[in-house]
């Protein structure tokens, strides 16, 4: 099968004075054209570094693996070719629109800049395209807003501008890193609606990075759960919510606020993601896992296929000890 983006065995390391940090430690991610794939995990799980690696924007060093986008070997491209792809075929939006927008240029200049570089538009064409994009993302009075500066807009409006900018060249892939985390709930819902609408209209594939399972449920076709630099579970979205297999995913599900307990967290996974750079033996989730066995502390579990399209990295599925423990708890 041909994928739009195929990340294989990616390892992105940070070389620091205190030692080597394996922020991404052997990750596979595949996205088909038009598909929305979520990467879920707590902060420090490696999800942002994975996506930044795909755009060759990570401050870390890719030490192993391959990244193929639209048939191109991303890691082998000269920087100049990479710049043509970035923003044009692969675009990214972040959590904090204010830090990505330049305060001294108008909204129109900034959206226009993207299309002038990539689509060789004239100044007039670029402004026209900017207005068109502002309309597309539901910004009222686009004709006036186009000449405004970013600080004149609310957070929600600024995120719309970022999306307009990202979509201006009709990218095949939009990477959205916590796109709604900084926004209040109502605006968050509007931005998600907008992304879904654009995806349907334009057929854009989305790689959505989030810690929020609610966002995943609303947006994604497939989900990859990351923990400590590794994929621990992967499946289609329905399976993930109805039949989560990895103890970490099960914990995330339990800690998800439900409708009648909006703010209250019923459960939270004890402990936290290991400090990056921690030397681990065995399963890195073991210190937080209720089901940890002796084996878990010695040997790292492999990522195994449980059923078609469903992978999990846990000894409960694959070791004899794990299977019998699993069975006896089920009886």
Site residues (vs Mg ion, CB under 5 A): 48
Tell me if 292 contacts ligand SF4 by CB under 6 A. Answer: yes
Question: Could you say which residues in the range 205-264 bind ligand SF4, by CB under 6 A?
Answer: 247
Q: Which does 39 bind (CB under 5 to 8 A by kind): Mg ion, ligand SF4, none?
A: none
- Looking at 283, 294, 310, 311, which residue binds ligand SF4 (CB under 6 A)? 283
Query: Which one of ligand SF4, Mg ion, none is in contact with 314 (Cβ closer than 5 to 8 A by kind)?
Result: ligand SF4
The helix, strand and coil proportions of the chain, stated in percent and rounded to the nearest 5, come to: 40, 25, 35
Looking at beta carbons only, is 33 or 96 nearer to Mg ion? Answer: 96
Q: Which does 286 bind (CB under 5 to 8 A by kind): ligand SF4, Mg ion, none?
A: ligand SF4
Q: Name which position in 97, 244, 251, 301 contacts ligand SF4 (CB under 6 A).
A: 301
Q: Which residues contact 65 (CB under 8 A, 6 or more apart)?
A: 7, 8, 9, 10, 11, 26, 27
Residue in 41, 113, 285, 303 binding ligand SF4, rule: CB under 6 A: 285
Beta bridge partner(s), residue 22: 13
Least Cα distance to 306 among 297, 298, 316 occurs for: 316
Q: DSSP state, 86?
A: B
User: Residue 49 Cβ, how far from Mg ion at the closest point, in Å?
Assistant: 8
Tell me how far apart the alpha carbons of residues 285 and 221 are, in angstroms, rounded to a whole number: 26
Nearest-approach distance from CB 254 to ligand SF4, in angstroms: 15
Contact flag: residue 269 with ligand SF4 (CB under 6 A): no
Cα→Cα distances 329→322, 323, 324, Å: 11, 10, 8
Contact status: 164 vs ligand SF4 (CB under 6 A): no
- The crossing angle, in degrees rounded to 10, of helices 107-119 and 123-136 is 120
CB of 252 to ligand SF4, least distance (A): 12
CB of 253 to Mg ion, least distance (A): 21
| 297 within 8 A of 281, measured Cβ to Cβ | yes
* Minimum CB distance to ligand SF4 smaller for 182 or for 295: 295
Residue 58: how many other CB atoms lie within 10 Å: 18
48 binds, among ligand SF4, Mg ion, none (CB under 5 to 8 A by kind): Mg ion
* H-run or E-run covering 39: strand 36-40
DSSP string of 1-35, one letter each residue: ---SEEEEEEEEEEEETTEEEEEEEEEEEEE-TT-
Pick one of 39, 289, 303, 311: the residue that binds ligand SF4 (CB under 6 A). Answer: 289
Where on the chain is the footprint of ligand SF4 (CB under 6 A)? 247, 283, 285-286, 289, 291-293, 296, 301, 314-316
């Amino acid at each position: 099968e041909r994928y739009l983006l195929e990340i294989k065995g990616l390892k992105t390391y940070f070389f620091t004075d205190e030692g080597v940090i394996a922020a991404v430690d052997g990750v596979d991610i595949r996205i088909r054209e038009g598909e929305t794939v979520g990467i879920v995990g707590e902060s420090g799980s490696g999800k942002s570094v994975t996506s930044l690696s795909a755009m060759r924007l990570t401050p870390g060093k890719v030490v192993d693996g391959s990244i193929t986008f639209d048939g191109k070997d991303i890691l082998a491209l000269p920087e100049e070719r990479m710049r043509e792809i970035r923003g044009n075929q692969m675009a990214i939006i972040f959590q904090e629109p204010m830090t990505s927008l330049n305060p001294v240029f108008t909204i129109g200049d900034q959206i226009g800049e993207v299309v002038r570089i990539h689509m060789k538009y004239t100044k007039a064409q670029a402004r026209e395209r900017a207005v068109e994009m502002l309309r597309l993302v539901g910004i009222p009075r686009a004709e006036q807003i186009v000449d405004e500066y970013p600080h004149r807009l609310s957070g929600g409006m600024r995120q719309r501008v970022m999306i307009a900018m990202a979509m201006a060249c009709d990218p095949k892939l939009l990477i959205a890193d916590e796109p709604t985390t900084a926004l209040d709930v109502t605006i968050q819902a509007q931005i998600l609606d907008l992304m879904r609408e654009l995806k349907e209209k334009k057929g854009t594939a989305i790689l959505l990075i989030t810690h929020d399972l609610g966002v995943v449920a609303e947006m994604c076709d497939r989900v990859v759960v990351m923990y400590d630099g590794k994929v621990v579970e992967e499946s289609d979205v329905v399976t993930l919510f109805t039949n989560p297999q990895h103890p970490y995913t099960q914990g995330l599900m339990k800690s998800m606020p439900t409708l009648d307990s909006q703010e209250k967290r019923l459960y939270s996974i004890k402990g936290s993601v290991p400090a990056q750079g921690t030397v681990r033996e065995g399963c890195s989730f073991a210190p937080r896992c209720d089901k940890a066995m002796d084996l878990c502390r010695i040997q790292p579990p492999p990522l195994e296929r449980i059923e078609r399209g469903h992978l999990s990295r846990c000894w409960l599925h694959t070791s004899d000890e794990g299977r019998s423990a699993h069975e006896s708890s089920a009886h």
